[in-house]
Amino acid sequence: MGYILAADIGGTKLATALFKNDGTVVKTNESLSEKKDEELLFQCLVNSFRSLCINEGVNFDDINGIAVGIPGIVDAEKGIAVFQNNLPWRDFPLVERLESEFPQSKIMMDNDVYMATWGEYTTRGFSSETMVYVTLSTGISCCLIHQGLFLRGSGMAGEIGFSLTGTSDTSLETLVSGPALELKGRKQFNNPELSLKEMMVGYYQGNVHIARIINEAVTALAKEVYQILVFTDPHCIVLGGGVFNHHPTLIEAVRKEVGQYLSHPLLKGKEERIEASIYKGEAGIRGAASRIINIK
């Protein structure tokens, strides 16, 4: 029996999984991402892959394919991790290095958001539809698939974290990312240990100071989603990533606010196309597995 290894490497966690060739999940693993040393990060990835195989009694020679999703700028054709804002890789030859560890396997890599988008696209049974996936966690980014193909532009399509908000030069990421929200909360309450999880508890309990921070983020997100909707008119726009996955209330808040902007008769009701992620935290690794299965 053949197997596939998949990885989703984010700025916070490194998730890996072992799949059967038909896409069935055998085992998953999760650990913290190494943020300082490029070789240590690579070894963490390889060790996680090998651990999955050993623990499940799978021979390395039975691994037919490996797919890895990473954040930031990648050269998918050459297999190079060009620049990762929250990881230490710079022009790192990831595919070449993995080929030396698993010479019998077909190996591919791509941006992690593209992998997650593919997973959400295919699980909905889409093939010719247009879909946008927005991920909000350590950072914020998006990806668009149209008629089964990625919109890549010249290499950086979807980096909405750099979008400007309001009339200032403040970027979207500095307003809405998980670390940005934590930073604001810590300053507000003079508590350097305050976590986003604790802030959201306060938000649900009606804390007005926390609500002001979260509502500002919701408004910024809703305006960005509105722009995406009116510009691309997708069949579906998925809100995923750690923040949205753990707090679906925020998805509903964004959907409601977007609906207020869509007052024109031609636009009315399009907010219903905004959906939550189906795969949640597994979108990246499931999308990666689906990609390697499809190109084999």
d(CA 11, CA 244): 16
Tell me what pLDDT residue 11 has.
76
Q: Indicate if the pLDDT at residue 296 is higher than 60.
A: no
**What's the pLDDT tens digit per position in 24-40?**
999 999 988 888 899 99
**What's the pLDDT tens digit per position in 92-149?**
999 999 999 999 999 999 999 999 999 999 999 999 999 999 999 888 999 999 999 9
Tell me what pLDDT residue 167 has.
60
Closest CA relative to residue 280, chosen from 244, 236, 253? 244
d(CA 79, CA 20): 24
Can you list the alpha helix ranges (DSSP code H) found in 88-144?
94-101, 112-123
Q: Please, what is the Cα angle at 85 between 84 and 90, to 5 degrees?
A: 40
Instruction: Give the dihedral of Cα atoms 289, 293, 294, 296; nearest 10 deg.
Output: 140
d(CA 175, CA 158): 17
Q: Is 191 helix (H, G, I), strand (E, B) or coil?
A: coil
Q: What is the mean pLDDT of residues 45-58?
A: 96
156 or 197: whose pLDDT is higher? Answer: 197
Q: Please, what is the Cα angle at 150 between 72 and 163, to 5 degrees?
A: 50
Q: Is 105 helix (H, G, I), strand (E, B) or coil?
A: coil
Tell me what pLDDT residue 33 has.
87
**What's the pLDDT tens digit per position in 200-239?**
999 999 999 999 999 999 999 999 999 999 999 999 999 9
Q: What are the structure tokens assigned to 159, written together?
A: 């980096």
d(CA 240, CA 140): 10
Q: Indicate if the pLDDT at residue 56 is higher than 80.
A: yes
**Which residue's entry shows tokens 């309990």?**
205
Tell me what pLDDT residue 227 has.
96
Q: Indicate if the pLDDT at residue 85 is higher than 80.
A: no
Please, what sign has the CA dihedral across residues 153, 159, 164, 166? positive
Can you list the alpha helix ranges (DSSP code H) found in 190-295?
196-204, 208-232, 242-246, 248-261, 283-295
Calculate the CA 248 to chain-centre distance: 16
**What's the pLDDT tens digit per position in 241-294?**
999 999 999 999 999 999 999 999 999 999 999 999 999 989 999 999 999 887
Full strand arrangement of the beta sheet holding 25-32: 25-32, 13-20, 3-9, 63-70, 106-111
Calculate the CA 199 to chain-centre distance: 22
